[in-house]
Structure 1
Amino acid sequence: MPTPGPTPVDRLRALCLALPEAEERVSHGEPSWFAGSGRRARMFVMLSDHHHHDDRLGFWCAAPGGAQERLTGEDPERYYRPPYVGHRGWLGVYLDGPAPDWARIEDLVADAHALVGPGL
């Protein structure tokens, strides 16, 4: 029997932790990724694993201005306005359902890190 590949959470974790000064912590009961060190660290990605108003697996990330509206308009089955942080422009991305576009997810994670990351 073949060994299963990495889970979507494993892949997301690897993308986040590959970025400079990124670390994982639990926040609001979910794995979350922070950029920066110590008290300066700011969250850039948060897993949404069935606990936040639906039964879907996804993540929330900081997003540049206009990205939330553009992506949710292009593909509302994949992208959504997350509760709590959606009003600040954060983007929700579902990881379940049709195969995720990991190249785009890598770009979204990198953009989120750049928005809140070290040196800001």
Structure 2
Amino acid sequence: MAHPLMFDADDPLLHRIRALCLALPRAAEKISHGRPTFYTTKVFAYYGASIKVDGVYVQHPRSFVVHPDEGEVLALAEEARCYRPAYLGPSGWIGVDLAADTDWEEVRELIEASYRETASARLVAELDAR
């Protein structure tokens, strides 16, 4: 049975995240577990996620999830806007809630850092050559 869609296709925040992700070399999008997922050969970003609180899943639908280096994850984990997503958190992923005052340059940097952690050396070199 397929997962239900867990996002609004008209969400302007999704459109901004999508534009940042798909601007990276050979990046593509697919729906995985009901959410937009951005990848090359490996996933580097998700739009939306959830956390498990007292056995109940709490949704963070207007957020993005990335896998930057461990130091960045530890620093972000201290911030109230960030969370360790269910299933992915123990593997080094971090979620960041989006708000009206979102710093989009920081979002771009986090997405790029996650891309660099997951993409092949050839794709990272292609990114650096831009």
Do these two structures clear the TM 0.5 threshold for a shared fold by scoring above it?
yes
Query: Does structure 2 retain, via aligned residues, the 8 Å contact 1:24–1:32?
Result: yes
Question: How far has the Cα of 1:118 moved from its partner?
Answer: 2.9
Q: Which amino acid aligns with 1:79?
A: C
Q: Which runs of 5+ in 1 are unaligned?
A: 1-5, 36-40
Query: Aligned partners of 1:116 and 1:64: how far apart in 2?
Result: 10
TM-score, normalised via structure 2 length? 0.73
Question: How far has the Cα of 1:101 moved from its partner?
Answer: 1.2
TM-score, normalised via structure 1 length? 0.79
- The verdict on how the C-alpha distance between 1:115 and 1:49 changes in structure 2, with shifts beyond 3 A counting, is closer
Query: Aligned partners of 1:118 and 1:21: how far apart in 2?
Result: 11
- Provide the residue aligned with 1:93 in structure 2: 96
Query: Does structure 1 retain, via aligned residues, the 8 Å contact 2:83–2:96?
Result: yes
Query: Aligned partners of 1:107 and 1:91: how far apart in 2?
Result: 14
**Equivalenced residues, count:** 107
- The verdict on how the C-alpha distance between 1:113 and 1:10 changes in structure 2, with shifts beyond 3 A counting, is same
Query: Aligned partners of 1:49 and 1:84: how far apart in 2?
Result: 10
CA RMSD of aligned residues (A): 2.1
Percent pairwise identity:
31
